Amino acid sequence: MIEVVGLSKRYGPKTAVDGLSFTVEPGVVTGFLGPNGAGKTTTMRMLVGLGSPTSGFTRVNGKPYRAHRAPLREIGVLLDARAVHPGRSARDHLLALGATHGISGRRVDEVLEVVGLTEVARRRAGAFSLGMGQRLGIAVALLGDPRTVVLDEPVNGLDPDGIRWIRHLLKDLAAEGRTVFVSSHLMSEMALTAEHLIVVGRGKLVADVPMAELIASVERGVHVRSPRSRELVEVLRGDGVRISSVTSDVLDVTGLSTEDIGTRALQAGIPLFELIPQKASLEDAYAELTRDVVEYQGAATSLGEAA
Ligand SMILES: Nc1ncnc2c1ncn2[C@@H]1O[C@H](COP(=O)(O)OP(=O)(O)OP(=O)(O)O)[C@@H](O)[C@H]1O
Ligand SMILES: [Mg+2]
């Protein structure tokens, strides 16, 4: 479990993390979302004692990070996959990290196998591709068989196969009862991986919500196909109901449930060929949540909004 309590971090005049409180529970994958510069990496770093909070504190598995006698067994982190001595082999890198914890060569080989680097284990890590480096970073995080795993943008640079592999790995780790906390900007991937979300913007908590609940909160229309769509429009009209026609026989209706629409169509004797509630995507929900907290916005969007 991860606890973040009233956490703030200032860099000179810049407040990177601003009174953040949340808990990450074991057993499910929790996604950490927020625009660029929202304070995600800063928060994750403070979980493992890299940078001290201006105020507030964090706890991992019930204790401050520094109070754990064998921290690698409590929390494994991927923060910057490039933080590897370029001249060292992947295997030597892991052996060196494990040395303080009595982690054996056997465990190192096991972890190399899990991340798919067995074949290149003795090659210089400096010559690794982006994706191989990312896999090595994940091997580091898993080395101590930790109860809590924190990964900052683990799918960066991975090919589709690698992305799928991470998704299954994270779900398996959570299913084993571990705490899994992962940041990413890939919404479609996050939607497939995480069950719970912590969303931050400008260092503050924006949402702490189950994935399903967040997506359900975005109102989406119902797609209705009928050969008598014009008549149907008359039957469905009313306060708070918006109807737009997509094609001559397809309507997009908001403000009425599928039950309402089906019942009214039946009462009017109008046949329906399709009645499909449209599901919002995580991307839609996220865009709505973070609209006001985006820090670094592209020029085109800013101009558009100013007009
Ligand atoms: N060492 C530092 N010195 C000064 N400012 C910093 C430092 N580290 C982070 N910041 C600032 O703190 C804010 C939060 O940065 P952080 O890296 O935590 O954001 P993030 O949510 O991880 O963003 P991204 O999605 O781009 O990775 C940014 O404005 C950043 O410029
Ligand atoms: Mg970051």
Same domain, 29 and 135: yes
Give the number of whichever ligand sits closest to the CA of residue 185.
1
Write the residue with the smallest CA distance to atom 5 of ligand 1. Answer: 11
Sign of CA dihedral 241, 246, 249, 250: negative
Tell me the mean pLDDT in the region 226-249: 94
Tell me the mean pLDDT in the region 14-40: 97
The pLDDT, as a whole number, for residue 170 is 97
Same domain, 126 and 232: no
Same domain, 147 and 201: yes
Instruction: Tell me the pLDDT tens digit for each residue of 66-75.
Output: 999 999 999 9
Same domain, 173 and 75: yes
Residue 3 has pLDDT above 80, yes or no: yes
CATH of the domain at 227: 3.30.70
How many domains, in total, are found in the chain? 2
CA 89 – CA 74 distance, rounded (Å): 25
Q: Is the CB of 106 under 6 A from ligand 1?
A: no
Tell me the mean pLDDT in the region 213-238: 92
**Residue 170: inside a domain:** yes
Which of 167, 193, 216 is where one domain is finished?
216
**Residue 255: inside a domain:** yes
**Residue 21: inside a domain:** yes
Instruction: Tell me the pLDDT tens digit for each residue of 83-115.
Output: 777 889 999 999 999 998 899 999 999 999 999
CA 118 – CA 125 distance, rounded (Å): 13
Same domain, 116 and 160: yes
Contacts of 241 (CB under 8 A, 6+ apart): 253, 254, 255, 256
Which of 180, 200, 216 is where one domain is finished?
216
**Residue 298: inside a domain:** no
Residue 166 has pLDDT above 70, yes or no: yes
Which of 216, 239, 259 is where one domain is finished?
216
The pLDDT, as a whole number, for residue 2 is 98
- Going by their DSSP bridges, the two strands 29-33 and 179-183 should be labelled as parallel
* Beta carbons within 10 angstroms of residue 200's beta carbon: 26
Contacts of 60 (CB under 8 A, 6+ apart): 1, 2, 3, 47, 48, 68, 74, 75, 148
Please give the single-letter amino acid code of residue 164: R
Same domain, 188 and 101: yes
CA 302 – CA 172 distance, rounded (Å): 41
How would residue 81 be classed by pLDDT, with cut points 50, 70 and 90? low
* Beta carbons within 10 angstroms of residue 294's beta carbon: 18
Angle between helical axes of 130-142 and 105-114 (0-180°, round to 10): 130
DSSP 124: B
Ligand 1 test: best mutation among 8, 36, 42, 52, most atoms within 8 Å of CB? Answer: 42
How would residue 291 be classed by pLDDT, with cut points 50, 70 and 90? confident
Please answer whether residues 29 and 171 qualify as being in contact, where contact means their C-beta atoms are separated by less than 8 angstroms. Answer: yes
Q: Which domain holds residue 150?
A: 2-216
CA 154 – CA 159 distance, rounded (Å): 12
At 60, phi and psi to the nearest 5?
-120, 125
At 222, phi and psi to the nearest 5?
-115, 135
* Beta carbons within 10 angstroms of residue 75's beta carbon: 23
How would residue 300 be classed by pLDDT, with cut points 50, 70 and 90? low
The pLDDT, as a whole number, for residue 293 is 78
Report angle CA 33, 71, 112 to the nearest 5 degrees: 75
Task: Output the CA 11–ligand 1 centroid distance in Å.
Answer: 9
Same domain, 163 and 248: no
Same domain, 231 and 109: no
Task: Output the CA 89–ligand 1 centroid distance in Å.
Answer: 30
**Residue 195: inside a domain:** yes
Give the range among 2-6, 116-120, 127-131, 188-192 with minimum mean pLDDT.
Answer: 127-131
Residue 220 has pLDDT above 90, yes or no: no
Write the residue with the smallest CA distance to atom 2 of ligand 1. Answer: 11
Same domain, 204 and 111: yes
Tell me the mean pLDDT in the region 255-274: 96
Same domain, 233 and 128: no
**Residue 305: inside a domain:** no
Same domain, 177 and 234: no
Task: Output the CA 38–ligand 1 centroid distance in Å.
Answer: 7
**Residue 202: inside a domain:** yes
CA 36 – CA 82 distance, rounded (Å): 19
How would residue 50 be classed by pLDDT, with cut points 50, 70 and 90? very high
Residue 304 has pLDDT above 50, yes or no: no
Same domain, 143 and 269: no
Please answer whether residues 296 and 201 qualify as being in contact, where contact means their C-beta atoms are separated by less than 8 angstroms. Answer: no
Across the chain, mean pLDDT equals 92
DSSP 122: T
**Residue 299: inside a domain:** no
Exposure pattern of 17-28 as b/e (b: 16+ CB <10 Å)?
bbebebebebeb
The pLDDT, as a whole number, for residue 80 is 79
Residue 305 has pLDDT above 60, yes or no: no
